[in-house]
Structure 1
Amino acid sequence: MTIRAIGIIGGGQLGRMLAMAAARLGFRTVILEPEADCPAAQVANLQIPAAYDDPAALAELARLCDVVTYEFENVPVAAAETLAREVPVYPPPKALAVSQDRLVEKRFINDCGIATAKFHAVDGQADLEAALADFSGQGVLKTRRLGYDGKGQKVYRSTADGIEGGYAALGGVPLILESFVAFEREVSIIAARSADGDIVCYDPAENVHRDGILHTSTVPARILPETAAVARDAAARILSALGYVGVIGIEFFVLADGSLIANEMAPRVHNSGHWTEAACVVSQFEQHIRAVAGLPLGKADRHSDCIMQNLIGNDIVSLPEWLRRDDTLVHLYGKAEARPGRKMGHVTTLTSTRAEPDVPGKKARDR
């Protein structure tokens, strides 16, 4: 099938960058997004201003597009399934269903043979108290659905952290308690799979968060080659198990011995992969468009080391300084108002040509 137009559900910055990548490859894009003048609609060919599950809007999107994708994982699964009866939807709706529920996601990842933190389902106050008792009063309590950027969470470091009423405090919705993980750093891997099963993986990035929001992604990550290989294998397992088409982001904790614990997956292009537009010939955004449009995947090799930094809220006031740098790519999202916690753009600084990372313990190990 010849692809002429690609539908994108969601009008945020990820949809914007997907639309830009699609345009470079000659595709038209149609955005389904209720918010007027959203970042994606500023660069796309057309916006359908309606709710993500609006039946008429979904029918219009299917009529106008040859394939549909999405830029965030909270797209209603029923809407994606409705579309899939009329037009290919990539990544498949199954990926949405798995990623939207943290409990389902953890179990799925474990079924793929990949380790995660220990966890308990929490469906009431009694469940919370029993789960905390099993984890010695410690853990991270999270809503199973809709949490992001640190929202919908409560950290328990001891039994003194207000266990009473803890279930109701997060809305009385289904929760999950995850055990603490003694990790040395956080990394993520961006990977892509085509409809015919080809898989490519970008180099893992080392991530630093502030207030629950990604602050920087640095490549190369300070991990051993063996650890990077395990991350690539985990990505391939997940992609294959889902029959996935498109780009996925998977976050891991790196333990002291170099082993990995999977944290979560995102069935879409990912904030920690923004560096690819500056340090790779084929960015994660182009890779995703290639996959969903049935084009050959590009190489994921990087030509430079780099650091990507999010511009969040008032960080945008530093824009003139970033623009004066000749080693930095600046990407703004077209948002008029800077608010606390709002991602306004990102910058990627090329730090060198490719170099071997300074991995803790590597010299002693190699001797």
Structure 2
Amino acid sequence: MKKNNVILPPKTIGIIGGGQLGRMMAIAARYMGYKIAVLDPTADCPTAQVADVQLTAAYDDMDAIKELTRISDVITYEFENVDLDAAAYIEKQDKLPQGAFALEITQNREKEKTMIRGLGLPVPEFTIVKNGEEAKTVLKEFTLPAVMKTCSGGYDGKGQIKLETEADKQEAIRFAKEHGHCIIEEWITFDKEISVVFSRSVSGEITFFPISENEHRDHILYKTTVPAAVNETIQQKAYQAARMLGEKMNIVGTFAIEMFVNGEEIYLNEMAPRPHNSGHYSIEACNVSQFGQHILAICGLPLKEIELLQPAVMVNVLGEDVEPLLEYLQIEADGYAHLYGKAAIKAKRKMGHITFIGKDRNDVLRQVERYETAK
């Protein structure tokens, strides 16, 4: 049933990308009665395991994109590197509520940082270079430490290098020669990193999940703690910045922004136009998950008012953590484990997560300590 852009079950939701985010979107949608079609080049990918249909094809295969559009009533995506021509095609068919614009911005760090700065929001100082020679010129004057990142692609620390010494500048020049379009950013000293995850409806209604506090190891998110230990001033600055970006970009669905906190100041780092690893805690800890809220938004349904039911800590499970996790689950009842159904277990690859909830922050931290000790 579709009326006034509202899509109700048992219609089909198409998902571009078959990883864990697509899988958790699909599970949330299935609870509501929707059918699922997924486009992914890997057969039996995590999302396909809970879908009705899988189109096994490349993300930029326009024949597959057209077929997904044909069989779906609405389409979403689980990652930002969606082919822009494909997104534009689906949008023209009035089946991509999130639109192509958010993808265009978040696929490119230059556009992303330029938009943030254009809104007057705090962002680390940055300069764009297109090749090794430009990098050489810029780095003569650029104060260290700094970080160089590719403007497109890159995740979990890939596609970036930190510059601390003059020797690192030479490595950065080689990096720019190899990758071309890069961004050089000042290195921000920060007290902590936080995430703001929100959902926005087609009508502009916006709901915020509790701000989460993130800890990374080897450039990969290790754990997320909710609520974040930040004061009211930081919370208001973070929510205001997120609201401004959501409205400027006309976001529909769930969206995430990572920010650095330094004293009483925030600096916006990166954005993701879809549910985010740091929002996984919401499955157990909130009255509605980031995935459930996302499905409501893209289907044109009213959003839920979000409540944090209990404090939580979400810990990622990488390839090297799978066996210890399985052993832990045999002896402890603490924690809610989610494994993503990936066929190959690889070191540093996200294979799942486990979320701990409790009556207060100390209770949750004790559970996490037991888990980490057991590992």
TM range (shorter): over 0.9
Name the counterpart of 1:292. 298
**Shift in alpha-carbon separation, 1:222–1:338, aligned structure 2, 3 A:** same
Q: How does 1:64-83 map to 2 (within 5 A)?
A: 64-83=71-90
The CA deviation at 1:354 is: 7.1
State the one-letter code of the partner of 1:16. Answer: R
Alignment of 1:274 onto 2:285: no
The CA deviation at 1:11 is: 0.2
3-state SS, counterpart of residue 35 of structure 1 = coil
Query: What is the aligned-residue identity percentage?
Result: 41
Following the alignment from structure 2 to structure 1, what is the Cα–Cα distance between the partners of residues 116 and 150? Answer: 18
Name the counterpart of 1:151. 158
Name the counterpart of 1:365. none
Following the alignment from structure 2 to structure 1, what is the Cα–Cα distance between the partners of residues 137 and 92? Answer: 43
State the one-letter code of the partner of 1:43. Answer: V
Following the alignment from structure 2 to structure 1, what is the Cα–Cα distance between the partners of residues 181 and 74? Answer: 33
CA deviations 1:61-105 (Å, max 9, x no partner) are 111111100000001111100111113213211000000010110
Name the counterpart of 1:18. 25
The CA deviation at 1:335 is: 1.3
3-state SS, counterpart of residue 231 of structure 1 = helix
Alignment of 1:264 onto 2:270: yes
Alignment of 1:194 onto 2:201: yes
Alignment partner of 1:166 out of 167, 173, 177: 173
Deviating runs (4+, > 4 A) in structure 1?
none
Following the alignment from structure 1 to structure 2, what is the Cα–Cα distance between the partners of residues 40 and 275? Answer: 19
CA deviations 1:15-44 (Å, max 9, x no partner) are 000000000011111001111010000001
**Shift in alpha-carbon separation, 1:83–1:126, aligned structure 2, 3 A:** same
Name the counterpart of 1:246. 253
Following the alignment from structure 2 to structure 1, what is the Cα–Cα distance between the partners of residues 204 and 309? Answer: 26
State the one-letter code of the partner of 1:314. Answer: E
Alignment partner of 2:211 out of 192, 201, 204: 204
Name the counterpart of 2:312. 306
CA deviations 1:207-265 (Å, max 9, x no partner) are 01111110000011111012111111111111111111100010000012x21000010
- Give the total of aligned pairs: 355
Structure 1 residue runs of 5 or longer lacking an equivalent are 356-367
Give the number of the structure whose residues are more often helix, by fraction. Answer: 2
CA deviations 1:147-193 (Å, max 9, x no partner) are 11100111101213252662446623200001011111000011010
3-state SS, counterpart of residue 287 of structure 2 = coil
Following the alignment from structure 1 to structure 2, what is the Cα–Cα distance between the partners of residues 90 and 316? Answer: 36
Q: How does 1:29-48 map to 2 (within 5 A)?
A: 29-48=36-55
State the one-letter code of the partner of 2:133. Answer: A
Q: Is residue 129–residue 182 contact of structure 2 (8 Å, CA) maintained in 1?
A: yes
State the one-letter code of the partner of 1:24. Answer: Y
3-state SS, counterpart of residue 327 of structure 1 = coil
**Shift in alpha-carbon separation, 1:183–1:164, aligned structure 2, 3 A:** closer
**Shift in alpha-carbon separation, 1:236–1:169, aligned structure 2, 3 A:** closer
Following the alignment from structure 1 to structure 2, what is the Cα–Cα distance between the partners of residues 354 and 310? Answer: 19
Alignment partner of 2:131 out of 106, 124, 135: 124
3-state SS, counterpart of residue 29 of structure 2 = helix
Q: Is residue 307–residue 351 contact of structure 1 (8 Å, CA) maintained in 2?
A: no
Q: How does 1:226-245 map to 2 (within 5 A)?
A: 226-245=233-252
Q: Is residue 303–residue 354 contact of structure 1 (8 Å, CA) maintained in 2?
A: no
**Shift in alpha-carbon separation, 1:164–1:325, aligned structure 2, 3 A:** closer
Following the alignment from structure 1 to structure 2, what is the Cα–Cα distance between the partners of residues 117 and 28? Answer: 43
Following the alignment from structure 2 to structure 1, what is the Cα–Cα distance between the partners of residues 175 and 265? Answer: 36
Following the alignment from structure 1 to structure 2, what is the Cα–Cα distance between the partners of residues 113 and 36? Answer: 45
The CA deviation at 1:112 is: 2.3
3-state SS, counterpart of residue 190 of structure 1 = strand
Q: Is residue 130–residue 176 contact of structure 2 (8 Å, CA) maintained in 1?
A: no
Following the alignment from structure 1 to structure 2, what is the Cα–Cα distance between the partners of residues 40 and 246? Answer: 19
Following the alignment from structure 2 to structure 1, what is the Cα–Cα distance between the partners of residues 45 and 328? Answer: 26
State the one-letter code of the partner of 2:81. Answer: N
Following the alignment from structure 1 to structure 2, what is the Cα–Cα distance between the partners of residues 67 and 88? Answer: 5
State the one-letter code of the partner of 2:340. Answer: Y
Following the alignment from structure 1 to structure 2, what is the Cα–Cα distance between the partners of residues 94 and 112? Answer: 16
State the one-letter code of the partner of 2:135. Answer: L
Following the alignment from structure 1 to structure 2, what is the Cα–Cα distance between the partners of residues 261 and 251? Answer: 9
State the one-letter code of the partner of 2:339. Answer: L
Q: Is residue 7–residue 29 contact of structure 1 (8 Å, CA) maintained in 2?
A: yes
The CA deviation at 1:119 is: 0.3
Following the alignment from structure 2 to structure 1, what is the Cα–Cα distance between the partners of residues 334 and 171? Answer: 52
Name the counterpart of 1:99. 106
State the one-letter code of the partner of 1:299. Answer: E
Q: Is residue 143–residue 186 contact of structure 2 (8 Å, CA) maintained in 1?
A: no
**Shift in alpha-carbon separation, 1:47–1:182, aligned structure 2, 3 A:** same
State the one-letter code of the partner of 2:265. Answer: S
Following the alignment from structure 1 to structure 2, what is the Cα–Cα distance between the partners of residues 8 and 165? Answer: 37
**Shift in alpha-carbon separation, 1:165–1:255, aligned structure 2, 3 A:** closer
Alignment of 1:330 onto 2:308: no
Q: Is residue 33–residue 51 contact of structure 1 (8 Å, CA) maintained in 2?
A: yes
Following the alignment from structure 1 to structure 2, what is the Cα–Cα distance between the partners of residues 323 and 337? Answer: 23
